[in-house]
Amino acid sequence: MLTVEDIRPEDYDTVIVASADLQGRLFGRRIPQRRFRENPEGCVDISTCALTWTSSQDIVTTSWFGNWANGWRDFQLKPDLTTLRPYPGVPRTAICLADVMDDEGRLIALAPRTILRRQLERAQHLGYTVVMASELEFYLFQGSVRQARLARFQHLEPTTLIRSDYSIVGQSVQEPFILRIRQAMEGAGINIFAAQAEYGLGQWEVNLEHTDALEMADRHVIYKAGVKELALQHQLSVTFMAKPVETEFGSSCHLHCSLWQAGQPVLPSLERSGTLSSRGRHFLGGLIHHLDETALFFAPHVNSYKRHVEESVGGGLHAWGYDNRTATFRIIGHGPSLHIEHRFAGADANPYLAMAAIIAAGLDGLQRQLEPGDPIDGNGYEMPQLRHTPTCLGDAVELFRTSEFVREWLGSEVVQHYAAVHAHEWQSYLRAVTDWEVLEGFESV
C-alpha cells in the first residue's frame, strides 16, 4: 500500500482514480502525479453514463439515474486514500479506488461500493465483522485479445492443450505469466493464497487471501483489471466470462465467507467440532432462502446461466453440505477457520454486489432464525427433490425486481436501476439471432 508521500515524481507519473461500474469493471480517470499530490482528496467528475451502461456499454435510458432528460449530469469520485497502491503490471502508475458521490457529498445509493458499504454498516451495527476471500477462474488463450476479436473469438488456441487440473509439470509453460500475476499482485498489497491450472483447456485459477469484505472486493476488481493488463503485455487473451467455451467447464467465483463478533468466529459450533453453530445455520438459512431473488448479483449476464447447465460446478441447487462440491453452499474448514464457501457466482460477478447479497441474506437469516434444512450427502445433481436456481437472466431480473426482501434491504432506487439495466441486456439477447439458431433451423424449419 502507498501513502500520498510515496507518489514521488521519480517513481510515479500517473494516479488512476477509479471505481467499479455495475458490472464490476473499473472506470475513472488518469491524473498526473503532480495534480494528485496537490489535492489527493479532490473529487473527479464522471458522467452518469458510467453507471448506466450494460456489459457492451449500451446506454440504458430507462433508468431515472442518467438519461437525456437530465443531460447526463456528472457525479463525483471521492478518492479513498486507504486504497492507494501500485496499479498491478503497469509501470510508474498507482491506483486509488473511490466512492461515488453526488454534488452534495452524499454516497450515491446505486453505486456497487456504496451497496456493499451499507450492508457492512448493518452488520457492524449488529456487532458483526464479515471476512471474505475470492477464488477466481479465468480462461487464457494464445495471441492478443485484439487478434482474438478480429477473428470473432473463433478457433482460439488455449494455453493448455491437455487436462491439467492441479498438474505441476503442465503449468510450467505459463509460469512466467502466472508468476508475473503473483508478483504484481503482491506488490500491490493483494495477497495471493495459491494458483494452479484448472480442468478446462486454457483455464487457470489464482486465489486471493481472505480479508475484510470491502477490502476483498477492492482487491478483486483491481486483480481482474491487472490480469487483463498483464495479458495484453504478454500477447495473451484472458476472459472472465462465466462460460466462454461451449465444450468446457465454466469459470466460477467461489466466495468464502466467515462471520466474527468480538474477535470470535460465529459460524462454527463450540459443542460439535466441524459443524455449524445455531447462528451459523441461521446465516446459511438466509443465503439459501434468498438465493433465487439475489441470483442477479451472482449471475448478472445472459452468459452467466450457461455455466449452470452443466453438472459438477457446485452451483444452481438449493443445497448445502459439508465439504461437498455438488452443493451450492459448501461448509469447509475446522475450528475457527470453519466457513461457508458460496459456489453460485461466476467469474463475471461484480464482487461488491455478490458480497452485499451474501451479507444481506445472511443477516436476514440471523434476524428471522431461518433454517437451511438438512445437509446433503452424495451427488446433489442426482437428487431430483432439490430445487434449482433461475435458469436465465430474464427470470433472475423478474425475481429481483419483485422481491420484497431485496427492496427492503437494498432500496427501491437500487432495485429499479439494476432491473432496468439487466432487462435491457436480456431484451437485446432476445432480439439477437445466433449462429446456433441459423445452423439448427435454416433448412429444417
Per-residue pLDDT tens digits for 95-149: 999 999 998 999 999 999 999 999 999 999 999 999 999 999 999 999 999 999 9
Q: Name the E strands within 143-202.
A: 192-197
**322-358 core/surface letters (b: 16 or more CB in 10 A; e: else):** eebebbbbbbebeeeebbbbbbbbbbbbbbbbbbbbb
**108-121 core/surface letters (b: 16 or more CB in 10 A; e: else):** bbbbbbbbbbbbbe
- What pLDDT is stored for residue 311 in this prediction? 59
For residues 104 and 215, what is the distance between their CA atoms, to the nearest angstrom? 26
Low-confidence ranges of the chain (pLDDT < 70): 61-64, 66, 69, 170, 310-314
For residues 32 and 17, what is the distance between their CA atoms, to the nearest angstrom? 11
Secondary structure of residue 245 in the 3-state scheme = coil
Query: What does the DSSP 8-state code read for residue 308?
Result: T
For residues 61 and 59, what is the distance between their CA atoms, to the nearest angstrom? 6
- What pLDDT is stored for residue 312 in this prediction? 56
Domains of the chain: 4-106 (3.10.20.70), 120-391 (3.30.590.10)
- What pLDDT is stored for residue 6 in this prediction? 97
- What pLDDT is stored for residue 188 in this prediction? 97
pTM above threshold 0.75: yes
Helix (H) and strand (E) counts in the chain: 11, 16
- What pLDDT is stored for residue 291 in this prediction? 98
Q: Answer whether 222's CB lies under 8 Å from 26's CB.
A: yes
Return the sign of the alpha-carbon dihedral for residues 206, 209, 213, 214.
Answer: negative
List, as own/partner pairs, every contact residues 428-431 make where C-beta atoms lie below 8 angstroms and the sequence separation is at least 24, other chains included.
428/54, 428/56, 428/58, 429/302, 429/393, 430/394
Secondary structure of residue 299 in the 3-state scheme = coil
Secondary structure of residue 235 in the 3-state scheme = coil
